[in-house]
Structure 1
Amino acid sequence: MSGVEIIGLGHYAPERIVPNSEIEARLGLDAGWIKRRTGIDERRYAANDQALSDLAIRAGDMAITRAGLAREDIGLLLLATSTPDHLLPPTAPLVAHRLGLGNAGGIDMAGACAGFMYALTLADSFVRSQCVTVLVIAANILSRRINEAERASSVLFADGAGAVLLAPSARQNSGVVGAHLAAQGAHYDLISIPAGGSRRPFARDLDASETLMILSDGQAVYSKAVAMMSNAAEIALRKAGVTAADVTHFIPHQANARMMGTVAHQIGVDPDRARSTVAMFGNSSAATIPLTLSMSAQEHRYAPGDIVLMTAAGAGLTGGAAVFRW
């Protein structure tokens, strides 16, 4: 077996719905301001007693249950998140334990909004080289990293989780057939949380606002993310030996509707092939692609041979794209 197939999809969005009106009232914005600029109507926030692992487990459990796979047959868990339960230890071992993955390794991957792209491409390689099943979960609780006084982050970010279960396949041409991963550290500080790491450790005199997200230049983030997502997607398509016209499902990072539309236009993907959850679930960073992949499956069923193009960019700057043949 030298191919890879997705045998299970899962997602979870917390129950609390936060409409635009709540945020617009807090920030003094006109009614409809957020929708016009982002395409978002509402988003989900985790409950006070929920941690990142709780969201990840719900999505992972759905993927495993849908696949009907014995949990001891899963060999690795990759957890893409920027908001782990703790700085130490990593959260993946706890998620693996609570999911009953007794034979699986587990590691966190902090790739910001591009975390799922990194995890998916590495998982595909591990399935091929080790002939084991890999569970990839991407999850975030960004509501606890939003600076409520800052418009840029308040209107976009949300909480959620998505999961894919990858397994060896006898179909040699299935799986990730083209990928490109990117990083532009020259723009490292465009999206940041200033304090809490080794550069600025926690201290008694640390202002709480320094542990919250800052978007220093929203327009620069937008333009550079569009360029990175479009470029990565074009390279991945070339590596796969397909064109934008061959794409059956286009699932970009759900940053905001305008960005997604611009990327689709630049790479020449038919807008009818785009799948989106941003209107109802907002931007949950790395979780948006697998969440959308899972939630779209009922309406847009995936069939063998379908070409799924995924692309993302985020803080770091990190980015990437993958062409997955179903």
Structure 2
Amino acid sequence: MKQPGVGIALTGSGSAVPAGLLNNDQLSQIVETSDEWIASRTGIRSRRLASSTESLASLAAQAGERAIAMAGLSAMDIDLIVLATSTPDDLFGTACLVQAELGASRAVAFDITAACSGFVFGLVTAAQFVRTGAYQTVLLIGADILSRWVDWGDRRTCVLFGDGAGAVVIQANECDRLLGFELRSDGTQNKYLNLAYQPQAKDLADQVAIGQGTFAPITMNGQEVYRFAVRRVPEVIEKALFRAEMTAQDVDWLLLHQANQRILDAVANRLNLPPEKVISNLAIYGNTSAASIPLALDEAVREGKIKPGDTLVTSGFGAGLTWGAAVFQWGR
């Protein structure tokens, strides 16, 4: 239960992307596609890809370090690190590696997995720790290296995804800047977007067999995911706005998971928001899953587009299927 006078504020942001860049023309040398085909259907023109020597932990730590610096803090000020990712370096968890790399030895750290909804789910999760008074300062990171799990011969999926990390610092604040949220899940639609484990039978002894395999590349039913997003995302945004006692016209910026420009346009149109209120950078980064919202947020903050006191509505949506929205004001 929220303590009287204890709210949250987002006080710093940071991001990091790998150096490797693959544009659509280069991608057309790998699979049968073209820049015009990809851009017209998705809005994506390039993506950043991690090399074999780059880790999720290092990208996440870079983003986290920049967010901590913007907030005017040090790593030792962090009480909790929440890492939203679907592509950990270690299946047992990567948040502790990030903690070590940052030198945030006071912080407890753990991973959460909600795919492309991960940052929004992480924001709501982190807020509860602060609102109850358990922690004062939280570093929330969304990071994914989806290129590890892409089938580069499948043009339906390989054109979409990129790698990156984004982070925010969340601090206790007398005035609560998280104004409303709504989270949803529907496991009956799980089949439409997967990065699934595929077991292979292995006999250990007489009448003792196990499944020991690996994860298959990403599979997606693009049409079903598109239908789901354009229907459910405006609904969940409207519910979050209702909880905030606001309407879409009270919002300064619409910050959606950067999945497809057509989805961004359709949602904005449904909410009657003009294109100039829509934050979009997927043309240069593609779909970076849990990283996409904080990566776009950080760029807009550093460009001076998003200013302290601005009201944003954000929504993440994807595998699970999961989706959610949050309304918040930037800064204290």
TM-score clears 0.5? yes
Does the 8 Å CA contact 2:233/2:324 hold for their aligned counterparts?
Answer: yes
1:103 to 2:106 alignment: yes
In structure 2, the CA distance between the partners of 1:110 and 1:43, relative to structure 1 (3 Å rule), is same
The counterpart of 1:133, out of the listed 117, 137, 153, is: 137
1:214 to 2:219 alignment: yes
Taking the aligned partners of 1:219 and 1:97, their CA distance within structure 2 comes to 41
1:191-202, aligned counterparts within 5 Å? 191-195=193-197, 200=199
What's the RMSD between the two structures over aligned residues? 1.9
TM-score, normalising length from structure 1? 0.93
Gaps spanning 5+ residues in structure 1: where?
Answer: none
Gaps spanning 5+ residues in structure 2: where?
Answer: 204-210
Counterpart of 1:302 in structure 2 is: 306
Counterpart of 1:39 in structure 2 is: 43
TM-score, normalising length from structure 2? 0.91
1:184-263, aligned counterparts within 5 Å? 184-195=186-197, 200=199, 211-215=216-220, 217-263=221-267
Shift of 1:31: 4.2
Alpha-carbon displacement from aligned partner over 1:254-284 (angstroms, at most 9, x marks no partner): 0011111111111222221111110111110
The counterpart of 2:183, out of the listed 181, 185, 191, is: 181
Does the 8 Å CA contact 1:245/1:270 hold for their aligned counterparts?
Answer: no
The SS at the match of 1:28 is: coil
Does the 8 Å CA contact 1:53/1:85 hold for their aligned counterparts?
Answer: yes
Q: Which amino acid aligns with 1:54?
A: S
Taking the aligned partners of 1:250 and 1:175, their CA distance within structure 2 comes to 16
Taking the aligned partners of 1:267 and 1:302, their CA distance within structure 2 comes to 20
Does the 8 Å CA contact 1:158/1:283 hold for their aligned counterparts?
Answer: yes
Shift of 1:65: 1.4
In structure 2, the CA distance between the partners of 1:101 and 1:31, relative to structure 1 (3 Å rule), is closer
Shift of 1:98: 1.2
Shift of 1:54: 1.1
The SS at the match of 2:306 is: coil
Does the 8 Å CA contact 1:42/1:279 hold for their aligned counterparts?
Answer: yes
Q: Which amino acid aligns with 1:219?
A: Q
Q: Which amino acid aligns with 1:103?
A: R
In structure 2, the CA distance between the partners of 1:74 and 1:33, relative to structure 1 (3 Å rule), is same
Counterpart of 1:289 in structure 2 is: 293
Taking the aligned partners of 2:202 and 2:241, their CA distance within structure 1 comes to 47
Alpha-carbon displacement from aligned partner over 1:11-51 (angstroms, at most 9, x marks no partner): 00111110001212221224411111111110100121011
Does the 8 Å CA contact 1:24/1:31 hold for their aligned counterparts?
Answer: yes
Taking the aligned partners of 1:241 and 1:253, their CA distance within structure 2 comes to 23
Q: Which amino acid aligns with 2:111?
A: D
Shift of 1:153: 1.3
Shift of 1:203: 6.6
Shift of 1:201: 6.3
Identity fraction in percent = 38
In structure 2, the CA distance between the partners of 1:301 and 1:193, relative to structure 1 (3 Å rule), is closer
Does the 8 Å CA contact 1:81/1:140 hold for their aligned counterparts?
Answer: yes
Q: Which amino acid aligns with 1:45?
A: L
Q: Which amino acid aligns with 1:29?
A: T
How many residue pairs end up in the alignment?
318
Taking the aligned partners of 1:57 and 1:38, their CA distance within structure 2 comes to 29
Taking the aligned partners of 1:310 and 1:295, their CA distance within structure 2 comes to 15
Counterpart of 1:5 in structure 2 is: 9
Does the 8 Å CA contact 1:145/1:211 hold for their aligned counterparts?
Answer: yes
Counterpart of 2:123 in structure 1 is: 120
Answer with 1 or 2: which has the greater Rg. Answer: 2
Shift of 1:85: 0.5
Shift of 1:298: 2.7
